[in-house]
Structure 1
Amino acid sequence: MPAINFFQEDVSFKLTDKLKLKKWITEAIMAEGYKLQELNYIFCSDQYLLQMNQQYLDHDTLTDIITFDNSETPGKIVGDIFISIERIWENAEKFKVSKMRELQRVVIHGALHLVGYADKKPADKKLMTEKEDFYLNKVTF
């Protein structure tokens, strides 16, 4: 199985169902026509992600996710995805979904960015949401 790694920075968070999550992410990436080489998910605090947002993207706002595409070969995925657990939990409450469901949405959102989906323009955001929903409907855990 390709390398999907999970790390924590500045938070106490225990991810469950890691093997099922890895399989789901890998299958989604393959279904989009890409080959997964290495993908790192780093779960962190709002403050940690805010500092990254300021340093690397020159944005001074809280966000739930930042995705870095480190791929050097077309069609092959190498990336780092930073996710704020605090944003996930707050958004789960805001959108009235379970914490795990919101986490799954953001996890697949990052992978979709790496296979080329954007979300800045309304049409792109609509397509991204449709893709998220498509893969969320395939989750069996």
Structure 2
Amino acid sequence: MNNPTIRFNFLEPISLVDRTRLKRFTSLLFKKQRKSLAELQYVFCSDAYLLDINRQFLHHDFYTDIITFDLSEKGQPITAEIYISVDRVRDNALNFDSPLKRELHRVIFHGALHLCGFKDKTAKEELEMRKMEDKYLALYERFT
């Protein structure tokens, strides 16, 4: 699909500047990974909101920074929802001594990479995921 729809929805406030550029780059990430994207919704929410989703849909009783739902039909371009806890992103930025903007972009790309097939359940998978996040963060800094 040539013109995927990417939306940012805010249930909790967080500064996300240059949204058009970020949407264009996220579309490029999918193209670089040879994945066809139809529609992607990012929902920025609170820890409590994401914990409820984690309990209800994944049966996990812990906080997380991101949950990705691939809603695609088999053989069709990707349609998905990505929920991001702004509380976790802020905490991670502090814990990793990273600028908030960079940590937010990292999590946005992390969700997209999950949809492209990258996982992070094992140490090896997590290392590969971090490598890909770093790659796309560096590319985004140069993207116009």
Q: TM-score range by the shorter chain?
A: over 0.9
TM-score by length of 1: 0.95
Q: Number of residue pairs matched?
A: 140
Q: Name 2:4's counterpart in structure 1.
A: 2
Measured on the aligned residues, the alpha-carbon RMSD in Å equals 1.2
Q: Quick check: 1:87 aligned with 2:88?
A: yes
Question: Residue type of the partner of 2:26?
Answer: I
Distance of 2:4 and 2:138 partners within structure 1:
23
Q: Quick check: 1:62 aligned with 2:77?
A: no
TM-score by length of 2: 0.93
Distance of 1:75 and 1:138 partners within structure 2:
27
Percent identity between matched residues is: 43
TM-fit CA distance, 1:123: 1.0
Distance of 2:113 and 2:45 partners within structure 1:
20
Please identify, of 68-77 and 23-32, the stretch whose mean Cα deviation from structure 2 is larger: 68-77
Runs of 4+ in 1 over 6 A off after TM superposition: none
Give the gaps of 5 or more residues in structure 2.
none
Q: Describe the SS at the equivalent of 2:25.
A: helix
Q: Deviations over 1:84-117 (max 9, x none)?
A: 0010011001000100000000000000000111
Distance of 1:73 and 1:22 partners within structure 2:
24
Q: Name 1:110's counterpart in structure 2.
A: 111
Q: Deviations over 1:14-64 (max 9, x none)?
A: 421110110111101110001110000000000000000010111110100
Give the gaps of 5 or more residues in structure 1.
none
Q: Is the 8 A contact 1:34 1:75 kept in 2?
A: no
TM-fit CA distance, 1:139: 1.2
Q: Describe the SS at the equivalent of 1:68.
A: strand
Q: Describe the SS at the equivalent of 2:38.
A: strand
Distance of 1:76 and 1:100 partners within structure 2:
29
